[in-house]
Structure 1
Amino acid sequence: MPETHPAVPRSVHAAAASKRGTASPQLARALMATENVWASVEGEFGLLTSTGVAELIGSRGKGRSFAADQRGAGRIVGVRRRGVYLYPGFQFDRARGRVLPVVQDLAAAAREAGWDGEDLVLWLVSPSGYFGGARPVDRLDDEAIVERLRQASTVQW
């Protein structure tokens, strides 16, 4: 593998490498921008491990399987990062030790649209015209958020 820049995650270098061993500057910038978004999500909200989710919700006895079961049932959103599922912290009410009620509805609407957990999280943390430029994640208490997601998922370019 060619020499890597220390500020650029290995996943970006690996994904950018094509059969010819080079990537377009546009692809490299896009990959780095995506990695920056994930770093921002982790810094602002945290990305919990499955054990962290179980501890937060109070299901210590179930361990890692609890988060996987909840994700499989569409009750929480997980994203595959660094070879494991991680769970963005914004979907939890940490004070009450529970999942925000809207998460299940958002996850269902995302699935209906053919979105995976990563698509949903990236939509939630990106500024949206549906919210006057605010991020949907900052409006999780807005009753219209699920409908806004459905509208956003059907936009044709």
Structure 2
Amino acid sequence: MARSRQATENVRRALERDHGLLTEAEADALLGDQPRAGLVGVLRDGELRYPGFQCAGAGILSVMAPLLELARANGWDDSNVALWLFSPITSFGGSDRPMDHLDDAKALLAVAKDSFEAEW
């Protein structure tokens, strides 16, 4: 259990280091009138933060809304979605991270559907 928690913490630290975790105020400033509801949020130091890779310019990437809808319909919380996006998986024919495919909504959503709806 301790190793699992440490591995999760290591991923969160890498996510913060590589892409930044926006505070609510920073996300609001970046998004303007656009609501933060379309962003994946993760708890960091007791505060909700938003990984920067989900934003482009002054907006949220269009793939995020259907991705979050699919995740939440399958009981996935935001933190698990963020970890899934940042973690290497073999579904793309290599060991890419899902976030490396944010520009290909169709492929990303197909892989997400398989991942989110998998039953063990």
- TM-score, normalization: structure 2? 0.90
Task: Indicate if the aligned counterparts of 1:113 and 1:150 stay in contact, CA closer than 8 A.
Answer: no
User: Aligned to 1:140, which of 99, 102, 108?
Assistant: 102
**Structure 1 alignment gaps of length 5 or more:** 1-26, 60-65
- Aligned partner of 1:38 in structure 2 is 12
Q: Secondary structure at the match of 2:48?
A: strand
Match of 1:105 among 55, 58, 66: 66
Specify the structure having the higher radius of gyration (Cα): 1
Aligned to 1:87, the other structure's residue is in SS state strand
Q: Structure 1 residue 58: deviation in Å?
A: 3.1
- Aligned residues between the structures: 118
The CA deviation at 1:144 is: 1.7
Aligned equivalents of 1:155, 1:110: Cα separation in 2: 12
Aligned to 1:144, the other structure's residue is in SS state helix
Give the conservation status (yes or no) of the 8 Å contact 1:102–1:140: yes
Render the CA deviation track for 1:51-84: whole Å, top value 9, x for unaligned. Answer: 000111235xxxxxx7xx532xxx1111222211
Tell me the TM-score normalized by structure 1. 0.70
The answer for unaligned runs of 5 or more in structure 2 is none
**Secondary structure, counterpart of 1:119 in structure 2:** helix
Structure 2 distance, partners of 1:111, 1:28, is: 27
RMSD value, Cα: 1.4
Match of 1:88 in 2: 51
Instruction: After the TM superposition, list the runs of 4 or more consecutive aligned residues in structure 1 that deviate by more than 6 angstroms.
Output: none
